[in-house]
Structure 1
């Protein structure tokens, strides 16, 4: 282990995700295990600029592994986007004796850390935590599994009312740029159609699919729509078009919104966060910096942060084929 690092700072940034607290807990307790001081940084990069630091030990993180959100809070920071703001942040870290940072968040968080490292050569390592699962270099980001379970549970309940009233429901889920939530939750909940940004199926294909469903004897249907889907300007426009074109359908829209971010993390996310926290701290102690921890082939691996933010996560083509078959 490296003898250069005596104090590690940990922060959460960007959108919150279930499992962030489990990751914080893992970082803090791994530091305690290796007799390294851990400093919690409140409100992300803004907290660094303001010096909003608090020393944490193993007991500081008791009872948080099952909590959603983040005890360290999250905030946007206009100041950190400027060279002057980043210089203030650097001075705050140096004055506090912090030798390295663990960044828990998504691509925006990692981009900020990448710029900071290039300017000041400050050791950083990232833990991917976002419900969208849109980070290159890991098969799963923390929070993704919990969000899927939340979405499937909601769709199961929506299907009850859809079947009771012979309705078609458009269920919009998060996924502005990627459709991982929509595709996986759609297959898991048995949706008749799944609309994602990566595949512009077009209105004709959607109408044809809905007509086939009707002709096959289905009296209600669920269409899962990622918010970044390209077919219509928004899910409500899509609903109006289908209603105007297919008279036999009584159409409703349900936008799940931020409930997908909340709630206790699943067992998978708690275990993933625990593993990633250990890997992050021990990688810093081994002298590694500018990496992101990721899960690849069930093993903890390191991907250069620059590669993680510039690379693109790919949609599972086989799962798309499965979804098409299951909609028969």
Structure 2
């Protein structure tokens, strides 16, 4: 399935990042840029968003929450389309982070930025020092200039009652720390998630091509010796076969019922059946129903695993149309199913 976003969204995401960067570095009336707020917007919240996105990508696939309040609970988005959606989301976020980075570098070049920190709850510079050491643990070994020392933290503390009490000569030395935080906590996680999406999409594509090749090979083998007439056998010869009831509400025998519940539940039960690899399988159908493409897909999946299959009319209803039996016979002949008669 081909999935594309409008091209104008990509430059818009970049411009949005530039606006975020310029707005965060705007001077306040007290003369300093709020360092703690800039780090939260540029690195803290984006890192939390990347963690949540990664968790949602790898969790068990479920029906989207908004559909649980509608009548579309049976709808299920294809996993490959979900991966493509996540990939586009990470691409847009990377462009936004690049816009923030561009605005930051431009302002570093053409303006003199002065940063200060202040907190109502945290008033001890030693705690801020410990926090910045924890944040900088990823680049301490190869970028020591991006690790704030205690002197910088003490000199750039901003007290709103007496804003000029501290020496702010080194207030601009915070920029390496912010740049490293922007790269490590904002841009890098999204790039890694993009790579994960690309690898998973490539794996799914290779798997689908392999399954399609196997199905084509099986179909070619079947067509080589397909009989000109429908094969018919007695139901007694298939007593030991496993049964699948397709859209049969109340079967009088044991077996798997499909076509009546949600798509997710049917798919889970069908995959469990295929894992058991039954030697023979009987499809029990209602004469009043018409053959569906979904049933044909499952028949092909079982045929690809070498399962011998047969078709049996389970509901012998006198009110069914006269052509219903002929329709099912044509369906059975097309899919190389053995027709069972009582």
TM-score by length of 2: 0.21
- The structure carrying a bigger helix percent of its residues is 2
Q: Which has the larger radius of gyration?
A: 2
By relative contact order (CA 8 Å, sep 6+), the higher-ranking structure is 1
